[in-house]
Chains A and B, each alone.
Chain A
Amino acid sequence: MALSRLQRESRDALTVQVWGENPIFRQVLGICSALAVTNLMFNTLLMCGGLIWATSMSALTISLMRNWIPKRVRIMVSVLIIAVYVIVVEIVMKAVFTETYNNIAAYVGLIITNCIVLGRLETYASKNPPLQSFADGLGAGLGYSFILLGVALIREPLGFGSVMGFDLFSSFMQRHNAQWVIMIMPPGAFFVLAIMVWIGRAIDLKWRRTQAAPKAGGTK
């Protein structure tokens, strides 16, 4: 079934953010939180949920308001709207996941200053229709989450011997004092993230070459 122009643009806006222009491994944006929260999967999951919500909803809101926002106050309005959605995340987390919120409260507030969110509002949502902007924000959030969860999936087992808090070999690690401390600490995320960016870009490069090869062959 053929997709309408609107559907096609929305799909493209979403997929390009998840892979082609992934905010973490292509644009290297928003890595502060990537370093801070990725030593535990559950904290990462909540942080990603918060960012997906804040990015997609603020993109939708800015897009709906784009024709009325004066240019000279656009950053102020964007930050205000991001802050509103992040405060919604804080309130919901406080009400539903009180204990976890107490542990990661400091980082949830920092979503407001995450450059991915403001970046997508400035470059896309302020110039495009609502559905495409929502898809773009959702894609950026999913792209960020996809990489962060990958980093957490490596750091938590190596640092704590667990995944999502479920014990894999943490008792063994504690008994033998064998925790890989660098994986728990923020510098560990630098190494894991760098390796993931390397692998991701290598795969992307290979894929682009295979895509280009038939065309090159055809011109002979």
Chain B
Amino acid sequence: MRINPDKNPWYVIGFAAIVSGLFTMAIMALHVASEPIVQANQRLLTERAIVELFGLDEGRELTDAEVTGLIDARVAGLGEPISLETDGESVRILIAYESQKPAEIDPLDKTGVLAYAFPIRGVGFWAMIDGWLAVTPNGTRAVGVVFLSHQETPGLGGRITEKAFRSQFKGLTVTPPPPGMQYVYIGRTAPEPASPQAARHVDAITGATGTSTAVETFVNDDLARFRRIATAAGLLEDNAATDAPQR
């Protein structure tokens, strides 16, 4: 007896269930098979970003092995997280060393430390943006910034990942601002060179005001939070509100 696919409800249910099951299994198998490659790529991308964040590459093109070698030798806190903790608040940090990192990591010991980095995270124009901001050991200047994940518009807000935008953070003053001012300004109009904002200014991305404003907001919030916890933990001095020379 021939079954009419359109008239037999059991056929319809069975067909839908079998097709869904088969295709879902195929996708799961592919996902499981590709997971190690995807994770390895993602880890390498993060390591490359961290190497660039701290300037460990010194402008050179590095191989994958060199990147992993630099991370293993000179960066603490990426594999096993290190946190600064105080009165119910904590912030995760990465520590980059000028040469080989010590066997025992003490986050408050600044001997040989090149820079500290802390996570920056906030709602962008479309979704969450995650990254890291690195500062000098005395917390007066930014060393660099990286954005590891975002869903901003490609070619617009998505340009926060481009070097041209990120390199503006290098050397930026990040000391506690005078009353009425903020740590960092991301805007279209560059302030007068003599203005106190000039050393804290980053050019916004053309056509992506929403993303630029969002980045400005969470960078300021996370900088203030890091400084508050780092000062309470004894990593930074309370009186760092001056434009002290780098390091």
Residues of chain A touching chain B, judged by Cβ–Cβ distance below 8 Å, are 36-37, 39-40, 43, 65, 68-73, 76-77, 80-81, 84, 87-88, 91-92, 94-95, 98-99, 102-107, 159-160, 174, 179, 181, 184-186
Contact of A81 among B23, B37, B45 (CB under 8 A): B23
- Beta-carbon contact of A91 and B34 below 8 Å: yes
- Beta-carbon contact of A94 and B126 below 8 Å: no
Residues of chain A lying within 8 A (CB to CB) of residue B15: 68-70, 73, 77
- Beta-carbon contact of A39 and B156 below 8 Å: yes
Bound-state CA distance A212–B161 (Å) is 54
Q: A39-B156, A80-B19, A181-B207 are in contact. List 11 more A-B contacts (CB 8 A).
A: A69-B15, A70-B12, A73-B15, A94-B38, A95-B41, A98-B42, A102-B45, A103-B154, A103-B161, A106-B126, A181-B206
Residues of chain B lying within 8 A (CB to CB) of residue A98: 38, 41-42, 45
Q: Is the interface of B mostly helix, strand, loop or mixed?
A: helix
- Beta-carbon contact of A94 and B27 below 8 Å: no
| Max chain A C-beta neighbours (<10 A), residue from B45, B149, B150, B158 | B158
Residues of chain A lying within 8 A (CB to CB) of residue B30: 87-88, 91
Closest to B33 in A: A91
Bound-state CA distance A65–B19 (Å) is 10
A62 shortest CB reach to chain B, Å = 11
Residues of chain A lying within 8 A (CB to CB) of residue B37: 95
Residues of chain A lying within 8 A (CB to CB) of residue B156: 39, 184-185
Contact of B207 among A43, A81, A184 (CB under 8 A): A184
- Beta-carbon contact of B158 and A103 below 8 Å: yes
Q: A160-B155, A184-B206 are in contact. Are A174 and B164 (CB under 8 A)?
A: yes
Bound-state CA distance A87–B28 (Å) is 10
Residues of chain B lying within 8 A (CB to CB) of residue A37: 154
